[in-house]
Structure 1
Amino acid sequence: MDLIFLLLILACFHSIALCDLQGNALFALKNSLNPSGSQLTDWNANQVNPCTWSRVYCDPNNNVISVSLALMGFNGSLTPKVGVLRTLATLSLQGNSITGQIPEEFGNLTSLVRLDLENNRLTGEIPSSLGNLKKLQFLTLSQNNLSGTIPESLEGLPSLINVLLDSNNLSGEIPERLFQVAKYNFTGNKLNCGINPNHPCASDSTDRGSSRKPKIGIIVGIIGGLVVLVFLGGLLFFLFKVRHKGYKREVFVDVAGEVDRRIAFGQLKRFAWRELQLATDNFCEKNVLGQGGFGKVYKGVLADNTKVAVKRLTDYESPGGDTAFQREVEMISVAVHRNLLRLIGFCTTPTERLLVYPFMQNLSVAYRLREFKPGESVLDWPTRKRVALGTARGLEYLHEHCNPKIIHRDVKAANVLLDEDFEAVVGDFGLAKLVDVRKTNVTTQVRGTMGHIAPEYLSTGKSSERTDVFGYGIMLLEIVTGQRAIDFSRLEEEDDVLLLDHVKKLEREKRLDAIVDRNLNKSYNIQEVEMMMQVALLCTQASPDERPAMSEVVRMLEGEGLAERWEEWQNVEVTRRQEYESLQRRFYWGEDSVHNQDAIELSGGR
């Protein structure tokens, strides 16, 4: 067992322990908040990794960085167990009916940047331990029943730029330092405000401390109000005119090889909430088709007996949640291709965001490979070839014929659906990112599924169309082998947990018979299997620059240009393998090396 594998195992143990700690703390928070039976149902005590839970957001290392539980009607209390979340940067619980005190343990949240507990029923004093939160920028405790004095420890918060403590029962002096932040509000308390005319109880973003400020604010407000009224009047007149002229906003889409199409957003149906509630039997759990990072997907039947799939987003309260919804609506509306999932319509309410798609009766490729029920047909080899080519064409369209290009960022068998004719339809654009070719491709958060994510995306956070090519290559391996991208059961026989490593090993040993899915019962063309495996390995090269573009992948699957690319890859791969083996020998047996087995053993039982 080599050192790299041992380090991987140690990293896995660390990640599991971290997830246990965070999951237990958040599950305790859920219980203390007293949610209703329909709230936070995916916060499962047996599934301790909270990074898959709704309203919980993590960084690429599975550290919880944001929890957003605003406006959910909780009437419980806050648990001190939250204090273990040392990586938490945002905690939003505003607009509930939470009672009790703010736990002293909140002072242990040393990464906290934003704490928002506004409009609850909190009592007791503001904990002095909040003075430990050196990264805190936004502190909002307005509209509660907090009492006592403002802790002097808050003066020691160097990053604080916004402190709102209005509408409580606070008394005593206000620490001088809090008057220096960009925005503050202490009104509606029994505090000693207004003694110094330069320290009014509420700040103003302009000309703070000036005696002329109230009058200027009134004048500016009146002028601004008139401008807004005039603007709204003109806008309403415009909307009235265009509505009666049958006006629709048009978006032009360049579809390669076909006549240009015009797509109007007016073609999308805006569903009523009640309509989708009835269609899904009140979003019954038995109708759940799947669940992803943005929410659950339900099977539904409309009043006209049309079967649909309703995607109910769960992150609309999060920063960017509504933006993400709008992005997905616009993106899917303009991306029109036979191998891309079509959007039927959408629904928005103050608390809900939903997308409506046609129901794919043959579900996903992953289902047909690994989850099909007894008596259901297995995907035969000709169908698998069509799926591979159809998926490639869909991705080629996203990358090379959309402007701006669209990167999917989670290409896998589970996200490729099958229509009634078993044609591939690429779905789940919830993880997609629009990339303007004139701008950088740096992302702020790694999205995707482990085993399918390209190495450069994991290490740098930079995504490009070549990250999709890598994911597509892994999907080809799924299609040929029927196996998952990561399978820990292989540890019993070998070291290759990753499907890619497993396939490379068998390819070097010329054992194609051991690669192909046994469910095919040897009903396949071995030359076509070999061709598909070669394309997969070309797509999953470590360097993104060496991977083919999706247009090249389409041509190779159609029989053009594969032989030359494969010969070049083999020459490079042999050289790399020799260099790696030479490096291993030097590492383990070199004169300056110390091969100490005791130093790399795992820790004992705990």
Structure 2
Amino acid sequence: MGIKNSLVDPHNVLNWDEHAVDPCSWAMVTCSTDNFVTSLGAPSQRLSGTLSPSIGNLTNLQSLLLQDNDISGHIPSELGRLPKLKTIDLSSNNFSGQIPGALSNLNSLQYLRLNNNSLDGAIPASFVNMTQLNFLDLSYNDLSAPVPPVHAKTFNIVGNPLICGTEHGCAGTTPVPQSLALNYSQNSQPSGNNKSHKIALAFGSSLGCICLLVLGFGFILWWRQRHNQQIFFDVNEHNEELNLGNLRSFQFKELQVATNNFSSKNLIGKGGFGNVYKGYLQDGTVVAVKRLKDGNAIGGEIQFQTEVEMISLAVHRNLLRLYGFCMTTTERLLVYPYMSNGSVATRLKAKPVLDWGTRKRIAIGAARGLLYLHEQCDPKIIHRDVKAANILLDDYCEAVVGDFGLAKLLDHQDSHVTTAVRGTVGHIAPEYLSTGQSSEKTDVFGFGILLLELISGLRALEFGKSTNQKGALLDWVS
């Protein structure tokens, strides 16, 4: 509650009840099976104010995700008292002051993002002792030299003028720290024998690494082929107690009752992999239940796995969040919040007609959701099926990007991923059709078609009914 009271929460996303016995039921909070708070995640929620030092009391915390807000003030040094903390992401806020040296006390910390803030001063020299750190991003602050020789595999300090203007610079990820550069320049030129010995050693090491990579890749292919029929979660109808963060495991009978046995009267949408039904849980919560057509089919299993994985990775107010799921030997179901205004595709054809202000807000909301998938997720997520039918609208006509069944993960250093072409005709980028190479540009093309649909009120492959004309919206516009 101290954390909540120090933050400004204009949309009441931290609707925590201080009189509740169990904080594990609160939104944005994840607990272990022993009911200890292990994760606090409220990214992109327009929070401001400051981060309370009382966060140091959450001694079992493993993950702190508050990126893409407007939180200011100093980063509490009390974070250094959390021995189990593995992930900290405070990027894209307005934190100021120096980076607490106490963070180097976190022996379990593997991932630290403080980029896009207003932090100043030098990077704590004690960071050199954080040998367990894999990812450190301090880019776009006002930090100054010297830079300690941090051991993180990925270390980014670009966008810090007081560092980048020095002799060692910071022209990219994993820069060479100044101390290492100076030590290297002071070494004498090696003799001819030493140089030949080093070349031979380097060649032998490279050859050994290549052999290990080939063997490892072959083992991965063998393992995947042997386990390609393995079920994503091994559960049955009578034993479904799974702990996936805030995701709830529903009983199949519970969802049967909620949807009136999946009555056609409750059907609100159809897709390539299944139908979506409106349902009412016992506590009165209105939900949308997506039921895969064939839970045992390979395509359906992959689609189910993909949606659960993608939505658990991405948390943003313009992305559809997942309440929970249900798995039996024959059924695969996903449970989402119910979007009262349906999809953009249905609203464009409904009455009253969407005004221009609402259309603009929908476009901006969808763009923010895609930007988060492309730029702020690591690895980034390529949606591959951006269209009006997959942009849902909540009670306030706020755009929410949904349906991650065709999404793909892509490392930030990769330009594309080559896959079988998937998507909806009329929304697929031409280069994706011809090459099979999908990237964030594929989503940008789909977003462009969405903008044309918002502006014209026409569908991507259907227009001019009054004159019996049919064709592609893009051709008609051009």
Tell me the TM-score normalised to structure 2 length. Answer: 0.50
Q: Which has the higher helix share?
A: 1
Q: Which has the larger radius of gyration?
A: 1
